[in-house]
Every structure is written in C-alpha cells, then in structure tokens.
Structure 1
Amino acid sequence: MYTKEKSKPNGTMPAVSIVIPVYNIGKYLEKCLDSVVAQTFPDIEIIVVNDGSTDNSPEIIARYADKDSRIVVIDKSNEGLAYARKSGIEAARGTYIYHLDGDDYLEFDAIELLYRKAKEEDADMVVFPFSLDYIESGKSECSIEIADEHFTNTEFFSAIAFSKAHWGVWSYLHKRSLYANGVTFHKGLNYGEDVFLTTQLVYFSSRISVLKSKPLLHYIIRESSITNSRFNEKKARDIL
C-alpha cells in the first residue's frame, strides 16, 4: 500500500477527514471530487483510497491531488470496500470523519453545516437528509424524514429498526475518536458493509443529533452497483 500524504502548512490537524473509497468508478469520480474540493468549509483533508482500480480512476485521482494539497492518496491492492474504508480511517487525522462513496457527491455547504451542528451540540454523530438519484430513470427522491432531533444509541437503533432512519455510513458525520473503542472491519464484506460499521459506531455513541436541512448528499443508484446487483451466494454470505 502506498500513501501520498500532504501536511497542512502550520502542522495543525484538519477538522474533518473525508474518506472516499474508489474502485473502477472513473465515470462518476470527477463530479464527486469537484463537490468535495469546492466545499465552503475549507478545514478538511480528503483521503482518496484507490482500491486497486483498473480503469482511469487512478489518473483522475492523481490529477486532482496535484491541484489540491488537502488530498491524501492511498494506492492499495483490491481488498474490498470495508478494507478500503479501514485504510482511509487509519490515515485520517481529523476530529470528525465523513465517509463518501466515490460515485456520489455533496452539496457545497454540506460539511460546513454538519461540522457546525456537531460542534454546537458536541455530538458523536450528526445524521442528515440526502437524495436518492436514479441514473437510468433520472428520478430523484428524498430520504426518510427523521422526526426527532436527538437520540441516544439505543433510541437510534430503534429508529433504524422501524425504518425511521438509515444505516448508510454516508448519512452521518461522526467523531474519529469512536474508532478507539475497538471498531472492527470484515474483510471482503461488500453488501451490508455499512450496516456492520454503523452498528458499531452507533453503539459507541452517546449523543446523536439530527440536522434539519435540505438534502446534503446525492446518493447515486446505478444498475451495476453492489446493492442492485443480482442476488447470489456472496450476497447471502454477506447478509449472514
């Protein structure tokens, strides 16, 4: 694994680390990276994990890294989504972490709004609304509207169980310190990987806040994505 890291000029730690796993998504990657480098909140580091891509993703990543000193590039052999995120987390230095899939993109003020909410309420996690964008049909719909403004960990588990909140790791900002509790990663787990990680992060969170705002993330739904691929034995094992 090769890491190309650039330090901030004054040696201080960034407020937020954005971790972006990438595997053969060159068609969508530029829009994702454009949305991140243009964030209105500048105190970020952008950790892009190339998980052994064989398309033009590495070239796109290198081009953006040359232009923006906040970008940290991790090139590694392909081990799957869970370990790509693990590599990004291990390199992260921010007080907060946000996981962004490389084929999705953010509203330009997303990190500013989330960080402000997290600091105001000293929240371990801040969850927020997003939009589901269907590439093939061109349709878009909003995520579940979360009724409450604050949750304990058990209350949030209950909300998820009754379809009143989401599992997706891209639907919340969270403290990096949560990983010090012994959060683990399941190598090779792709389908349901976010459930496995979110369960642990929620368990170790004492205060979960809800940001009431416009949708801040565009979650792209593709026919070829892991979630929408045909059910097979690998998916069954992942669920188990």
Structure 2
Amino acid sequence: MKTTCLINNYNYAYFLPEAINSALNQTVNFDEIIIVDDASTDNSVEIITKFSHKDNFKYILKDRNQGQLSSFNEGFIAATGDLIFFLDADDTYESKYLEYALNFYQRNRECDFLFCAYQKFGVEQGIFLEDESDLDLGYSVLKTLCLGEWIGSITSTLSMRREIANKILPIPYIDDWRVRADDCLVWGASVVGAKKFYISKPLVMYRIHKSNNFHNSKSSGKNISFEYKRLLKRSAIFNYLMQKNSLNLPLLLAHYSLNELKTIPCPKIKDFSLYLKIIFLLEKNIYWKLKGIILLFIYFFEVLKAGKLNSQNSKLKII
C-alpha cells in the first residue's frame, strides 16, 4: 500500500523541522510527504525548500491564507497514496509510527480509519489514552448523524484509506474550518461509513504551546455561542457529505441502530445508552420503538453474559 503524509503548516517555522524530520525518519519510509504551507509570514518557506531535494518530498505554497481545511483539501488533491496520514506542523511522529500503523492496516483489512494514543509535551506532559487496549470501534453512521458523536482524536493521530478520504475531501466550507478542521475528518469518516479502529500505543507527540489552536480552544466549549456556531457548521458538513455521497437516514432507525451496535465487538455501556437514546427519541414507528428497546436490552445481557462488555473508562489520562 502506498502511503502519503500530509503536513499542514502556518507560521510554525520554529517547530516545522522537527515535524518534517519525524516524517522523513520513519523505520518504514512514507512513499510521499506533502507539506502544504498556508501562506506563512515567517520563514517557513525557507525551511520547506531546504527539504526539496528529498525524493519523496513535495510541497505546495499557497499564496493566500485560508486555514486548515483548505490545506487538507489541497494536500489531498495532490496525494497519490492508498493510505493518507495527517500531521500538524507543530507535532511529531515516533520513529516506528508508520511501521506500526501499516502493519495494523494490513492485519485488519476492515480498518478504514485509524487513530492512536498520543503523548503530550511542551508546557504540559502526559500520555492520553482513549482506552488501555486496541479497539475495533465498528461503524458509527447513526451515532454521528443522530447524536453528533465525535469518534477520533487530534489531527496528527489520524489516518484513513484513500477511498474514505475521497468521500470526504475536498470540503468547500473552508472559512468555517480555518482551525479544528480535524472535526471534518473525524465526523466525515463516520458519516460516509468508515469502520474505525484505535491503537492504544502512544505513537504521536502532541506539542502543547501558547499558539496551539485545538488545545487552547477547548475552553471555548463552555461558551454557548461558540458551541451553537459549531453545531451549525457541523450540520452544514453533514448535509454536504450526505448529498455528495447520496446518503439518507434509514426509515427504521431502531432496526439499523441495533445492527450498527453489533459491529462493535466489545461495546461499552455508553454505546448501549447512545443507541437507546436514538431509538427512544428518534424512532417514529411505535412498534419498532418498543421492539428496538426490548431487543437492545436482550443484546446487552447477551454481551454481558459473554464477557464482551468493555468496562474500560474512556479518555484516560496518565501523567
């Protein structure tokens, strides 16, 4: 499988060499590394061109600053890989990241979208785990469309098969996603039917610094206006992707919810509660609403009896 690393950069000249070198110095080489510079005003271009002699290195220098989603769009259009990896210019890969991820894709042929644990460094330190074990997260179309579930992680931990990325990118709403465009990748992959997997090994170094847009914007989650605008932007993305891929919500949500739940080999209690919420609130057919709730509880006890209920707490932080 041919691999592409897409690095997006804007005014991160100070961090950029580390990011590029971490992609170049993998134990298994990327077939191509494409860096998209979003019209930086620092000396990023000077640094980028110093790597131009590398055979697997390409770069795109934009003449206008348009934000992160725009960089994703242009990078993907230029990419030729079967597997697409994303890297922010202020983060770095562990040297065995690609080797480990490539082996994972080869062992798990159903894997469409992969993300991993990461290690924070800089002004904060620690390891961030979604779970202590590798996970097959199944499909999440209904969880995402109906409840807005966000099943993924930061940009630099994300990769996906080309056929999934092609269903998502390019996305036209670049002004809405100048930052936090990884939301488009995470939500988008679920909407278009990607089967998601998680690696519990921290293979990415996530830099925390005063200019870190994602980390510093988390406090905005308490801002009602910010969340409302984000909800509107999410709705626009969902509508666009459904039209682009000719998708519609199924009529019998209870039936499809239960089947989607069963694609998760070891579901968590949270998964059952989310699908129960979909059936109870959104299923319009009273017969299927009642039947769906009963069948969901029957399946819950079957999973519990079989010892397949995942009791791990999500988003563990180990400092």
Compared CA separation, residues 45 and 83, structure 1 to 2 (3 A): same
Compared CA separation, residues 90 and 233, structure 1 to 2 (3 A): farther
* 2:45 matched residue in structure 1: 58
TM-score, scaled to structure 1: 0.80
Structure 2: gaps spanning 5 or more residues: 233-319
Amino acid at match of 1:175: R
TM-score, scaled to structure 2: 0.62
Compared CA separation, residues 102 and 118, structure 1 to 2 (3 A): same
CA distance in 2, matches of 1:219, 1:180: 26
Which protein has greater RCO, CA pairs closer than 8 Å, 6+ apart? 1
Tell me which structure has the larger Cα radius of gyration: 2
Kept after mapping to 2: 8 A contact 1:191/1:235:
no
After superposition, the C-alpha distances for 1:155-185 in whole angstroms (9 at most, x for unaligned) are 8958x9788x534232232101113335424
* 1:145 matched residue in structure 2: 131
Q: 2:113 aligns with which of 119, 125, 150?
A: 125
Compared CA separation, residues 84 and 182, structure 1 to 2 (3 A): closer
Structure 1: gaps spanning 5 or more residues: 1-13
Tell me the SS of whatever aligns to 1:216. strand
Provide the identity percentage. 22
CA distance in 1, matches of 2:193, 2:52: 33
After superposition, the C-alpha distances for 1:134-175 in whole angstroms (9 at most, x for unaligned) are x235x33333225562122228958x9788x53423223210
CA distance in 1, matches of 2:47, 2:225: 30
Q: 2:79 aligns with which of 79, 92, 95?
A: 92
CA distance in 1, matches of 2:23, 2:142: 28
After superposition, the C-alpha distances for 1:35-73 in whole angstroms (9 at most, x for unaligned) are 11101112421000011011011011100122x111111
Amino acid at match of 1:196: C
Q: 2:188 aligns with which of 200, 224, 240?
A: 200
CA apart distance, 1:129: 1.2
* 1:15 matched residue in structure 2: 2
CA distance in 1, matches of 2:230, 2:205: 25
CA distance in 1, matches of 2:230, 2:199: 31
Kept after mapping to 1: 8 A contact 2:36/2:71:
yes
* 2:70 matched residue in structure 1: 83
CA apart distance, 1:192: 3.3
Backbone CA RMSD of aligned residues: 2.9
Tell me the SS of whatever aligns to 1:211. strand
Amino acid at match of 2:182: D
Compared CA separation, residues 156 and 58, structure 1 to 2 (3 A): farther
> Number of paired residues?
221
